[in-house]
Amino acid sequence: MIEPANTNLSIRKQCELLSISRSSFYYEPKGESEMNLDLMRLIDKQFLETPFYGVRQMTWHLRNEDHLVNEKRIRRLMRLMGLDLPRDFSSTCD
């Protein structure tokens, strides 16, 4: 695709020909932080014991163990781990 060693075409020109930005060419994903990896281990351990825990209960459990977490982070990590449970959208009206 893009060859940095090419002397005939600069990286700028190669990116322009392929219609991608140079920042996309140089982008390197960071991955998960060490804290998130530790949280994922704790979530996995607790999920094996209580597989019916959803995001709210998992957040509550981790907060009781003195971890500073919020629901958004736990939801994102559980979704990343493939632990998102099916939601019950039962109708409350007859």
> What pLDDT, on the 0 to 100 scale, is given for residue 94?
65
> What pLDDT, on the 0 to 100 scale, is given for residue 46?
96
pTM: 0.70
CA of 36: how far to CAs of 31, 67, 90, 94, in Å?
Answer: 10, 11, 33, 43
58 in Cβ contact with 46 (< 8 Å): yes
> What pLDDT, on the 0 to 100 scale, is given for residue 23?
96
> What pLDDT, on the 0 to 100 scale, is given for residue 4?
87
Measured at the CA of 89, the angle between CA 85 and CA 90, to 5 degrees, comes to 130
Q: Which residues of the chain have pLDDT under 50?
A: none
| Domain range list for the chain | 1-30, 34-81
